[in-house]
């Protein structure tokens, strides 16, 4: 019994010593907390009593000052309108007159212009971007070229001369250059306009695919749209593809 009392007394003394040792630390923590609280209170009083700071918070004031600085650096409305005017004149100067065709390969749409006025628009199909590889390590990427082109030639009732890739795609042997198996009739529609390097604007048997990138690089159109483009664009007319 006496031993238990002695142990309790010893433990009590140790706890008292620990408390005494920690008191300076707690004192500093309390002091820092009071100091921070005092600073916050002082700022709140400042913002509530200073006329030009009333209605603002500390963080809003900092953000507002930054915003005002940024706004001050913006050009005036007069300068903006002057820039717009210059850009409009530049666009007018660069826009071709006469007739021309624009093809958007992302949306697979076309726009036919005459005298700077849009006279027809619609769906088309452009390159699929698929890659075909032959056993002889030759390969083709079926994409529609981008850039500014001119109509090289026009033809009615065109005949498709099948290139080598058409046979490779079907797993067939490649025939000689002028073999009859290379020629197919009635698959390009009633009209075709040549852009050079074998690329054509022509019709299609697969109208349900218009608006999708499914071709081997040519531009396919619906029958009515193709006829309008064919009859509107002369040889030498510009075609813008992007």
Q: What is residue 154's three-state secondary structure?
A: strand
Give the span between the Cα atoms of 218 and 190, in whole angstroms.
15
Judge whether 218 counts as a catalytic residue: yes
Closest C-alpha to 112, from 47, 193, 184: 193
Single out the residue of 102, 85, 172, 160 nearest to residue 135, CA to CA.
Answer: 172
Q: Is 22 one of the annotated active-site residues of the chain?
A: no
Q: Which of 22, 124, 202, 216 is catalytic?
A: 202
Please pick, among 22, 124, 216, 218, the residue that the annotation labels catalytic. Answer: 218
Residue 114, H or E segment: strand 109-114
* Contact (Cβ atoms closer than 8 angstroms) between residue 188 and residue 161: no
**Residue 223, number of CB atoms within 10 A of its CB:** 13
- CA separation for the pair 105, 128 (Å, rounded): 10
Residue for token digits 């797993």?
171
- Between CA 63 and CA 66, with CA 65 as vertex, the angle to 5 degrees is 65
Catalytic residues: 202, 218
């Amino acid at each position: 019994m006496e031993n238990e009392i002695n142990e309790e007394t010893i433990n009590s003394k140790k706890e008292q010593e620990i408390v005494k040792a920690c008191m300076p630390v707690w004192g500093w923590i309390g002091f820092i907390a009071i100091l921070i609280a005092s600073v916050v209170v002082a700022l709140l009083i400042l913002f509530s009593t200073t006329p030009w700071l009333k209605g603002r918070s500390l963080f809003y004031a900092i953000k507002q000052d930054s915003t005002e600085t940024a706004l001050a650096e913006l050009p005036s409305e007069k300068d903006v309108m002057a820039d717009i005017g210059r850009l409009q004149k530049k666009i007018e100067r660069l826009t071709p007159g006469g007739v021309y065709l624009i093809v958007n390969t992302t949306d697979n749409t076309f726009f036919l212009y005459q005298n700077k006025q849009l006279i027809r628009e619609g769906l088309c199909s452009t390159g699929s971007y698929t890659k075909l590889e032959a056993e002889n390590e030759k390969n083709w990427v079926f994409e529609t070229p981008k850039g500014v082109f001119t109509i090289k030639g026009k033809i009615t009732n065109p005949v498709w001369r099948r290139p080598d890739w058409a046979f490779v795609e079907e797993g067939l042997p490649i025939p000689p250059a002028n073999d009859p198996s290379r020629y197919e009739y009635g698959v390009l529609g009633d009209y075709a306009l040549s852009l050079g390097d074998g690329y054509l604007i022509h019709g299609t048997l697969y109208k349900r695919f218009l608006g999708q990138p499914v071709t081997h690089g040519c531009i396919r159109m619906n029958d009515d749209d193709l006829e309008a483009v064919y009859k509107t664009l002369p040889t030498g007319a510009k075609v813008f593809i992007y």
